[in-house]
Every structure is written in structure tokens, then in C-alpha cells.
Structure 1
């Protein structure tokens, strides 16, 4: 072939190439620039030939290129030549282009020419970015994936391997050539060699093999997902080869294993989570054996988290899990749910289950070192027995939880499941759920009961009382559902519900030109100690435009005795707003009467239990004393639960200000008591 024909062939190949091909001389000047390069960089061939190749590089790379080139020419130590790498080019418009760049070197008549091949990675990068947006958790894994490419002959010797293959295996490219692929595969069962050899057999029907193999590498090993296909040999069509495309999935596999582990396990303790625990129980429990499910309820974690931080709380949980493992030397299943732990063990009898429960509680209650302090957990254990209590695993878990609450309620270290207690607990939970729905649906009615002046028999104010007619259970007494609300987060919600209804009633009286009533609302201890309460009351006054003296709050004597700094701040703020406060059920908390002089309250309400005993000498003396001290502190006094004319007469003679009870009026719906039209 003539030299001119070779030149034409070379030019044709350059123009046909999909990738940008650029040649430069020893000074870095561009000598050729194919059509793909024109499309990639936005320059025409005429604009760049004869100019420095730095033109196609970002400024930070361009500034170093000449130095790199001169270093190579003087030392002949390549840094880029023969090694593909990812770099950035610069488009004519200034935008950066992600490239896979490889450089070759040619010498002709003593002159060196460097040939650069630039493969546009823009679409690849776009795909990676899309994957990052949709699956951020696996971003590092996706970015690190590089395809391994190799060819092997009929002896399974490597005839070709790309740079990624060499990098993953940790063997130089030249050393790989001729090396049997099976020698660098950690394949004890020889599956890889057997399958690949079968593809070379004349009558074999294997056209493709997909296999995951751990390849020996400079690290511990790389798990590669291989796909092999038959191809014609490079030199002789009669000598077929196998071409393998492999993806290093070591990181994906590790991530999947970790994800699978976290799907079934608690990340702190290594115990099973509840879903996996329930599934494991089904496979682990044998119908003819006895088992105990122990529910370890660990208190005080909220205090530790609040005072020392969540990291300290996590450390305590980890230590608690270690103690459980050390205490249980027999086979078991363990799970964590919040701050509580569940343990299933095989037992001979009830006594063995109880002994194990005590051992676990004793171990968990030993002191923990937290930031230099010694702290103890408050632990109780509930015990449910399989199959004696139930053969249903879900039911058994509920029973163990119920038994733990039973133990805590009765001050015991451990308790067996008790059907009566569980039924009562179930009823309370149903009431709690029903109350939540009733508040959401505004099914709780607010009744009013008047407070009557004992001297003039006129209505001075009203107390708001709640009534609940359950659609299935019928009437539920406030004595049943209010304590449940106070023990849960519903206490504050119920308070605000009643306060809002009371504010509406007062506003309706003003709009209908009715006398503006004074309505007292009972407030739970947790709500009254909330600094947000005064702000909520201000919002009600602005929304419904009622005077502050028309709304009163009633708190229990026990709340006063446990008064904290926040409660005092709330009382001071209420005083500033002009909202009065009464102490309800006075006398049941055994408080010191002298304490009254320090309180920012306006009224005392004597509890019904003392009114019932009013006609005895002892009862009369107690009530007379309370009234005298209240008067000395300029407090109004209201007697609750008056049911007879004799009680009203005696109290009037003792100079009691007001009375409340069935003798005067039973509670009725608020709009009816106030004479409001609908």
C-alpha cells in the first residue's frame, strides 16, 4: 500500500471514529483534530490546529500540562501514557466536559507525536446523577462500579484484559496475559472452569454463562458478577474465545448484606427487631416444649437522654444488651422494642422462668457509668408462658407486655401474666383510643354545674364537667376516662377541648345579650405546668373576645404540693392575664394550711368527702378550720358535693361563701344551663 493510501486510510479512520481523537507535537501544539473532536469541544478543526492543546482544558489543568509534557520528555517516565483515566475537558462555551482520556505515543523520523483519545462521559455522568437522586444510599457503590473486560482462549488463558480488570485484581497487565483465569478465581468448587470449558465443546449448548465468583486481589478478594459469551478469535475464526464482562459487586453485596441485617436487627444491640422476632419465633418454638416470653421494661431512659444526651442513652442500651447476653447462657431469641427488651427461652417450669427473670432484672439494674456518673435503670419483667397462657405468638407478646405493666403498677420485680389485669388494661387502652376519636369528632359534651352563693342563693359561676356517651359502651363515667387521659398525652388535648368549648359558651352569651357567665375548667397537672398554657388562653381571649375574669382554672391540691418552678411561672403569668385559679378537692392532699399564704390562688373548694362528714363534730371542726384559714388569706371558699338542706344551712352558718352540688342543681348541657339558642 502506498504512503498516500495509508494517509487516506488514516484520515478516514480518524473521521469515522466516534471518540474525539487529537494529536499534538512535543511542544503541545495540536496537529490534527477529527470531526468527533469538533462536535465534542465546539471548535472547528481550523480554529485549533496549530494552537496549544491547553485550549481544551480547564484552567487548573491547562496551567500544569506543559510541565507534565516537559517532565515526560526529559525523564521518559509516563504518568498518563498507556493508562486510561477520567479527566475534564473544556468546551468552547466554557462548560466542563467529563472525559475518559487515554494517550498513545508515536515516533516518526525522530519526531514524537502524542495521540489522545477522548470519550465523552456526559451521558454516563447523567445516569449516575439520576441514580444518586433516586437511591442516595447506594451512591458510593454506583460511583465505584467499573466494568471488567477480558478474553480467554480454549485453555482459559487470558488473552486480553482491560485496565479495570488489572486494577481490581492488583496484577500488572503484562503479567495477566497467558495466566489461566481459574488461577485468580477463588473457586473451590471449580464451577467457573467447568462452565467455561463447556462453552468450548463442539456440541455444547451453552452460549452464555452468568456466574458470581470471588476473584483473588491485592485486598481480601473481589466478588465479580461475570457474563461470558463466545466470540471469534482475534487471529483465527476457527479458534473461538470467550469474552467476559464483569462488574465488581463487592460493595453492593456488602451493602445488601448490611441492609438485610438492618432490616431484621436493631442497629445498636444486634437483637432482632419486632418483625424479625415474630418471624423467628414461628420457626424456633416447638409445639411440644415449654417457653417463657420475658418482657423487660427498662425505665429512666427518657431522663438519661434528656440529661446526658442520646449518645449516652444509646451507650446504656448497648451495655444492657451485653448484660442480657452474658446472663443467658442457654439458647434464646432476643428483640429490642424502644427501650424495652424481649427474650424467649425454653423452660422446664414456671419457677425456672421466674428465676431467669429475676437474674435478668438484677443484671440490668446494676449501675451504669455515664459521663462520670453512676446511674441505675428501673427494670421490671413481665412473664408470659407458652403454651400455658397462649399458643398465639402475637397474643403472647401482648400478655408479656401486660405482665410488665402489672409488675410496675404493683411494685414487683417480675410478674406472671394475669388475665384480670390484662382485661382491665385492655379496657383502658380501648377507652384511651375511643377518647382520642371522641375528641377528634367532638363527641365529648361539656356540662355546667352552678356554684351558688349560700347567702343570696344566686349563681356566681359554673364548673365545666365533661360527659361522654360512647357509641358502643354507652355512658362512660369521667372517673373512668379522665385518669386515663391524665396518664397519656390526651390530658392536655382534653383540657384544651373543654377550654375552647367554655370560651365559645361565654362568647355566645355575649352575642345573644345573655349575662356573661364565669366558667371554671379543671386542668391536669401536666398541662398546668406547661409554659404554653397562658399563651393558649391569650389566643382564646383574642379569638372569642371575652374578659379574663369570665374564665377560671381549677387545679388539684396535690398539684400545688408538687409545685415546680415552671408551675409557679404559669401561675404568675395567669395572674398577670387576670385569670383566676382555684384549688379543687382541698383537704385530700394533706397539705399544710399555712402554705396557702404563699399561693397565687383565689379560691378553695372543700372536697365532698368532708361535706359528707359535716354533721359529725370532727367533720364540722375540720371544715370550720379550713374556712377560717381561707378567710384569713382572703380566699373565696366553695363547698363541693352539697346534697341536703342541712349541709347548706351548716355551711352558711360557718360563713362559707358558695356551695355546689345536687341540692342546688345537677350538671346539664352548657347551652341549656345558660339559656342559649341554637
Structure 2
């Protein structure tokens, strides 16, 4: 029995060893076929990429061809002169703007370059080396020619060659055409190969793969990947595909059964170019190992288990029971493994899950066995990922990735999976094994870490992290930008490296005490940059603790507030000081004035307020421009400041108004000296560029507490005193008194009544005739406004017109005057064939608004009245404005047939040049020249000169204020002016004027 038993084990061993060997050979065969399948997939992918690159190149060249053909059409439609070639260049520049794959476009006639987008002064290029004449042309395209690949960024000039050391490359592409004279024209564009290189680089090519773009002769235009050896496989295969007439070709080069490389060639349909991809299989084995490492590991483990098991069975059959126990133990390990294990059949139906699966998913085994893993789908993982996974698995490869799955209770969780196929001896997939590990917590931690890192990196504030000993552990980029220190320079050091020396040790001690109390501190600190610059920063420090509650260190956040403090200073200055003169503005002035009044109350002294308004400043602005006006205001500010004490305050209240506060006056008489000093200083000449200007000022003076108990009343009273100084002739000072207060109140009440006068129909017009010098004919009548107040009686225009002009009322009143005057002119035209014109006064404020011509047009149209029935009287001040808007209005008025008359001529500041510039037809000599006409020889000469001047300019003259026969007789000697005055007729109502005209007409008929 022993001998027979001793012979059985060797025979059994042979069977076991044979089985192990066969299994190993089967594994090796499966792996060999898997390896060959991997090579075939890589070869097929190269053919696919060749078609993709061919399509990309074809589409790109089609777009370029259309652009060059369009440029060719425009080229042959012109005469090739500089203007035409410039337009061609402009269009080429637009093509370059929308074609990033192009660098340069040139147009060549013969050997001469006509246009070049690279330069405004085109140079002849070296055509001989471009290879355009030797290029094969396709009959399918519109004539696109592809030349040789060159080094450099732009086409080489004539007589030069490409820079072989250049990192740039270009491919010349051209369109050939003929000019109307039959001359050969060539449009050449330089194609940027890097445009295709980037596209090829985005493809999933291996490092050992080579991509070639060649012409049909095999000349390489573009090469990507390995250089040199692989190109030898392209040319023979290219000749083969051309001889066969095929579009593509793929061939393997092998050494026996071992593949060396695969060459895939694809011809471009429309262009004489080819795309070739050479796949070098030297690294295919390593790539295959990377793809199949899990499967190989499983097979290796399986082989080792088989061998170990065979050895175990053969050498010690008695350990079979122990082996069974070990298998049971392994089963228990799998069942109770902390890793989720799922086994499915080839259709993906679950056949086994372990206990960890139940714990992670919430499903019991009986609920999922017989179902597919789709029961866990959450919808968060895209279908494309599942499709790619099954492609990998059905190809016999192991797939690794992440799933966003759903628990039985509906909650979502992340898991990392490794799924591999089990393949039987026949090469069929029998099962899939999935090993899964929940990573939800890991995902959340990674996301928090990513967000924290992103915030730390991009934070605008500097962040500094220290340990418990206050040594710097970490800083962000903002810290480096603000302090100038790099992270390497400050790691391990304390924040003391940033100290500026501006703070005492007590300051820092207080910070640490605050951190101990409340674990945070915030405030402003002055620190020093690496370059020594001291700057302010807003600093926030927080203590950080470990889970045990022990101090771990500090986190400091700070920002550079230099600009903010600068802006605050600017804002404070702008809020309190005038930007032009640098003086106190109204806001700071009011504060200084209140302080001065309070100081006067404490010291029992007086405070003086001087309100200063410049005389004729508007004239300077209008004559020399606003820039000159600003210069003058600056110098005025300096002169006033030089006239007062350092303790006094000078302010610019706005425009050309200034104020001076003089506190703690021991003697009121001292004000007089200051006022006179200011008057004398401001009257001196001002040099404004090349011009010289002269102004003066009017000063109103109010004393606290005599002339007001608060700052508002004191300012108002000083303002009233200033207006009194204006009325006294300007360039003087005036003290506030009770009479001024009463005048101010009366003026205020009059203004209030004026607002109601128009709506209550309290205005009416009188008409004063303007006669011919012999008194035989009324040439025109002047409309004069009057105000009949119900309690005040007749209010003089001299009282209410200035108030109306200072407010917006002048526009409403002026419009009413235009309407009433036009109605009366219509009435005169209806009554008399040669009716006198109606003359109306229009203020400069109405012209500034810009609607005078429009108002007249509306009235003339509504009343069907001719413009020749009216005369518009303006003052000389309007001519001084020199504004285009006013000039246009006057032109429009004259175009209606209406005359323009300059009222009060000779009393203003206008120059005679304005009489030529503006469309004026009449001059009205002011009454002030007529009052002493009989007794003053100089006045007679002046009036005679003005009438002669008007005659020489073909202007009509009206003399106002003629009240005596002697005045009229003298005027007759000077010429034939028109006469207006009480001697011939006073202002009268419209009815009285109609009666006067009727009586004169009757008298004339009787004669």
C-alpha cells in the first residue's frame, strides 16, 4: 500500500503542473492578444487623427483661399495706383485681424511688391526661395498655391535668406491672377504653422508619435513630435498612395511578429498636401502595461496562487483541510472587507456584494442581486463617463474613476472605483469586479482645502500666519506685493522685521494684552517696506488654537491704506477749500465765521465781515476767456491775502465773490485801513498772458454784533452793503446801516410781488413814437413795459427790470412783451398800409437761453405777420458776449426781415468791430449825450461823430431824449437821424397811438 501511495503523488503532480503550465500559457496568450489589440487600437487612432488633422487643414485653407480670392477680385478691379494698393492693404489688414493663423499678406506684380501688411513702405521679397513656382496645384481649389516651409516670422527681403536660427516658421500660401493689362499678380499670405501645432498638441498623441504635413513630393511643411528617423517611412508610402489613387493609406512595419511602427497617410481632397502620422511602437509595451496593470496584477496573483496551491497540494496533500479553511477565511475577509466589492456578470447584473456594500449604500443584498448598478445612479455623473467606462471594460481593460452615487435614502455620496473584467480561457469576459471606496469626506475636505487655498492666494489683503512663538510660517502674494519681502525672506522670522519705529513698546504690549483678552485686535499701524518706505496699514490680528484649546499661533490680515489716507486728505481739503484759489470755501468759511463770533463773545470784542464782489470780472471772462478769468481770480486771492493779518480768514464764496473775516477787533476804525488796502491792491493792472486787464471791487462791511446777532444775518447784511457800494459807482466800500436793511426788505417784497404780477395781469405796454427828423412821419414806435401795482401804484421799470433779470422772471416777462408787441404790430398793419414798425427791447438773458428767434418765429407765424413790421432792440452787453449761439439768433432774426437796433449806444464797452461782425441796422444814441447838447461843444462833436459814423456804415440812427427845440435844431444840422423824446410825443397807450396816427393820416389827406 505504501509503494502504491508513493507513486500516486508524482502522477498527480504532473497533472497539476501541466494544468498550471497550461493556465500560465493561456494567460500569456491572452496578454499577447491584449497587447496586439492595444497596438491595433493605437494604429486606428492614428488614422483617425490623420483624418481630423486633414479636415482641420482643409477648413483652414478653404477660409484662407476665400479671403485671398476676395482680395484678388478687389485687386484686378482697380488700377494698381497707390490709392488702390492702399485700400488693398487696408483690406488685407482686416483679414489678418480676423485670421490669427496669418502673419503677413503681400501683393506682388512681377518681382515688385505693391503692398505689404508688415510695413507701410513695402520692400521686394525673395520670391525664388518660396517654392511657389514649383508647387503642385490642385484642380479642385480656386488656385491656392502652397510653397516651402521657411524659418522666420516674415517673408525675407530680396537678396536675403531665412534666418535658420529663428524659432519661428511660416508657410507661404499664394493666389496667382492677372491685372487688366495682363501682368502677373501674386497675393502671398504667410501661414503660421504654430496654429496647427497647437491643434495637434491637443490631440492624445504619445511622445513617440510623429506628425508630418508634406506636399505630394514629400517635402515637409510641418513636423510635430520626434524628428529625423520616422520621416523615412512617409515618402515610400506617399508614393504608393499616389500611384493607387486612394485618399488614405495605413501600413505596419514589423520585425517578424513584433510591430515596429505604423504609418497613416491622409491626402487633402482640395489641396496638394498630405497628413502623415508615424506611430512608434517602442513604447507601446510600457503604455499597455500602464493600461493593464490591474489586470496583470490580478493574473500574476492568480498564477502565483495556482503555483502556490499546486505546490501546496503536491507537497502536502494533508493540508487540504487547512487550505479549505484558508479559503473560507479569505471569503470572510472579502465579505467583511472595509472596501465595497461588487461582482457582476458580463451584462452588468449584480451577482455578489459584500457587507460593506450594504453599509455604504443602505441596500440589502437581496435588494440589489439580480439588478444592475444603475440602482445607485444619482444623475450627477454624465452619461458620457458611463459610455467611456463601458468602452474601456468591454475592451478588456481596467477602468478607474469616481462616481457621484445615491444612497437608498436619497442622499448623495462620492466613491472611488476600480473595475476590471474577468476573462475566461476563451477570451470571453465572464464577470466584472468592482472595488469601491467611499470618498465623500475626502471630497469635502479637498474642496474646503481648495477654497481656502484659493482665498489665501487671491486675497487682496496681505495674510501672515505665525506660530505660538510668533515666527512667520506662511504669507500670501499680497504680503509680498505690499511689503516687498518674498516668502523665503521672512519664513522663520518674527513680524518685527516690518517695524517702522513709529510706535513705542507700550503700543505693541497693548496689542498682546488685547489678544489675550478678546483673541483679536484691529487698528492702524505704521510699518516699513523692504525698501525702507514707511506706510500706514490697517491690521487685524486673530489668535488661532488647536483642537485642545491651546494657542497655536496668530493670523494677521493687513492692507496698505496709503491711498485711502491720501484720498481722505484730498476729500477733506476739497470739502473745505476752493480748488482754484486754495482759499476757504463757503463750508469752511461759515465754520470760521461762527468760531470768530464765539471768540468775540468770550473776549467781548467785535468781528468784521467784508463781502467783496469784483467789478467788471465778467468782461474779463468774456473778452479774454475763462482761463484768463481763472488766472485773475488766483491773483485776486493772493492780493486780498496779502492785505490782512495771519489770524484773519479769506474765503471764496463762489464765482467772483470773496469774504474776509476779521476777528477780535479792538478798534472798528482798523477796518477802514484794511478795506482801503484791498481796494487799492485790486485796482492795479493784471497781466494775463499777453493781455493786460483792469478790474476793481465793491466791498460791503458788517460788524458783529452791531449789524447781526448770528452768522447768517451778518453775511446777508454784508451782502446788502456790497450792493449799495455797487450802486454808488463801484470801486468803493460801504458799511451796513439800517437804511440798507430797509432797502433790502423793500427789494425782497418787490420781488415777491413781481412773481405774481404777470399772472394777475398787472403789466401793460406804452408806445413812444420815433419820428423822422422833420417830424412829418412816425417811422416806428418803441414798446415800453409798465407795472401798475394795486397798492404801490405805478412801479418804475428801473426798479423791477433789474430784479427780473437777476431771476428767471425776465424770460416769462420777455415772452409776454414779444406776444403783446406782435399783436399790436398786427393791429397797425391791418389799419395802415405803411404802418410804423414796432420796436421791442429784449434782454441779454433771453438771448443766452437761446429761444428768442424761435419765439419771434412762432408769433409771426401765428399772426401771419411779416418780420419787417418789427425792430428788436438789444444792448451793447449782448455784443460783448461773443457767443455763437447769440450770433446765430441775430442772423435768424434778420433773415425774417426784422431790424436789429443797438440801444444806449456809446454808454457801454463794445468796440466798433462788433458793428461789422453782427447784423445791426440801427443805432440808438443814449439820452445822456443829449441832455447837455446845447451847452457842451464836446458833446455836440461826439453826437455829430456818432451820426456820421452810422451814416458811413449805412446804419439808421435814432436819437433818444430830445426834449427841446434847440436840441432838435442842432440834430438837424448833424444829418437826418430819427428822433424820440418828449418834445414830439410822450409814451402813450395803443389806443392813443392809433388815434394819433388816424389824425395825422386825415390831416395828410386833407392837405
Give the TM-score band, short-chain normalised.
0.5 to 0.7
The residue number in structure 2 matching 1:477 is: 796
C-alpha spacing 1:557/1:536, structure 2 compared with 1 (3 Å): same
Match of 2:645 in 1: 329
Contact 1:467/1:477, CA 8 A, preserved across alignment: yes
CA contact (8 A) 1:444 1:466 kept: no
* The 10-residue stretch of structure 1 (493-502 or 158-167) with the greater mean CA deviation from structure 2: 493-502
Written as runs of structure 1 = structure 2, the 5 A alignment for 1:225-374 is 225-232=538-545, 238-285=550-597, 286=599, 287=601, 288-337=604-653, 338-345=655-662, 346-372=664-690
Q: Distance in 2 between matches of 1:669 and 1:208?
A: 93
Q: Is the contact between residue 192 and residue 211 of structure 1 (CA under 8 Å) also seen in structure 2?
A: no
Match of 1:240, SS state, is strand
SS in 2 for 1:197: helix
**Cα offset, 1:263, TM superposition:** 0.8
- Quote the residue 1:223 is aligned against: 536
Q: Counterparts in 2 of 1:657-676, with a 5 A limit?
A: 659-660=985-986, 666=989
Matches within 5 A, 1:427-576: 427-428=746-747, 431=750, 435=754, 443=761, 445-449=763-767, 451=769, 463-469=782-788, 475-482=794-801, 494-495=813-814, 497-507=816-826, 518=836, 520-523=838-841, 540-542=859-861, 544-553=863-872, 558-559=904-905, 564-565=911-912, 568-569=915-916, 573-574=920-921
Say if 1:161 and 1:473 are closer, same or farther in 2 by CA, change over 3 A: farther
Q: Is the 8 A contact 1:492 1:524 kept in 2?
A: no
Indicate the larger mover: 542-551 or 389-398.
542-551
- Corresponding residue for residue 607 of structure 1: 961
1:177 and 2:519 are equivalent in the alignment: no
- Aligned counterpart, 2:982: 640
Shift of 1:258: 0.7
String of CA shifts for 1:272-299, please: whole Å, max 9, x gaps.
2112211232234321221111223333
Q: Cα deviation per residue 1:187-238 (whole Å; 9 max; x = unaligned)?
A: 525576335423664xx3x14322122222236423222222232469x973
2:786·2:796 contact (CA, 8 Å) conserved in 1? yes
Which residue of the other structure, out of 368, 378, 385, is the alignment partner of 2:696?
378
Cross-structure match for 2:260: none
SS in 2 for 1:193: helix
* C-alpha spacing 1:289/1:267, structure 2 compared with 1 (3 Å): same
Q: Does the CA contact (< 8 Å) of 1:486 and 1:524 recur in 2? A: no
Change (3 A) 1:50 1:431: farther
Question: Structure 2 matches for 1:180-195, cutoff 5 A?
Answer: 180-182=494-496, 184-186=498-500, 188-190=503-505, 193-194=508-509
Q: Residue 534 and residue 167 in structure 1: after superposition, are their counterparts in 2 closer, same or farther (change >3 A)?
A: closer
* Whole-angstrom distance in 1 between the partners of 2:673 and 2:770: 61
Deviations 1:9-43 (A, max 9, x none): xxxxxxxxxxxxxxxxxx9xxxxxxxxxxxxxxx9
**Greater Cα shift, 595-604 or 284-293:** 595-604
1:159 aligns with 2:473: yes
TM-score scaled by length of structure 2: 0.43
Relative contact order, higher structure (CA 8 A, sep 6+): 1
Unaligned runs of 5+ in 1: 1-26, 28-42, 53-118, 125-143, 576-580, 611-618, 642-657
Structure 1 contact 299–379 (Cα < 8 Å) conserved: yes
Aligned position for 1:389: 707
Question: What's the Cα RMSD here?
Answer: 5.0
SS in 2 for 1:167: helix
State the Cα deviation string for residues 454-510 of structure 1 (Å, max 9, x = none). Answer: 999999865423233558866523242235557889778755542333124444788
Q: How does 1:78-227 map to 2 (within 5 A)?
A: 146-182=460-496, 184-186=498-500, 188-190=503-505, 193-194=508-509, 196-198=511-513, 201=516, 204=517, 206-217=518-529, 218=531, 220-227=533-540
Task: Mark the CA change 1:429 to 1:229 in structure 2 (over 3 Å): closer, same or farther.
Answer: same
Deviation, structure 1 residue 433 = 7.0
* Structure 2 residue runs without a partner (length 5+): 1-166, 168-197, 208-449, 874-900, 934-938, 998-1007
Deviations 1:307-337 (A, max 9, x none): 5444443334333333444443341222112
Q: Is the 8 A contact 1:169 1:216 kept in 2?
A: yes
Equivalent residue, structure 1, for 2:716: 398
TM superposition shift of 1:542: 4.6
For 1:294, what is the secondary structure of its paired residue?
strand
Secondary structure at the residue paired with 2:503?
coil
CA offsets per residue over residues 345-403 of structure 1, 9 Å max, x none? 23112211111222333344444443255544423433211112112211211222333
**384 and 533 in structure 1: CA distance in 2 versus 1, 3 angstrom threshold:** same
2:817 partner SS = helix
Change (3 A) 1:466 1:375: closer
**CA 1:48–1:364 in structure 2 vs 1: closer, same or farther (change >3 Å)?**
farther
**CA distance 1:543–1:352, shift in 2 (3 Å):** same
Residue 149 of structure 1 deviates from its aligned partner by: 0.5
Q: Deviations over 1:613-644 (max 9, x none)?
A: xxxxxx44444444x448x62x5556537xxx
Aligned to 2:37: none
Cα pair 2:785 2:797 within 8 Å, conserved: yes
d(CA) in 1 for partners of 2:201, 2:550: 47
CA gap 1:456/1:480 in 2 versus in 1, 3 angstroms? closer
Give how far 1:264 is off: 1.3
Question: In the TM superposition, what is the alpha-carbon distance from 1:667 to its structure 2 partner?
Answer: 6.0
Tell me the distance in 2 between the aligned counterparts of 1:213 and 1:183: 14
Shift of 1:150: 0.8
Q: Distance in 1 between matches of 2:672 and 2:804?
A: 33
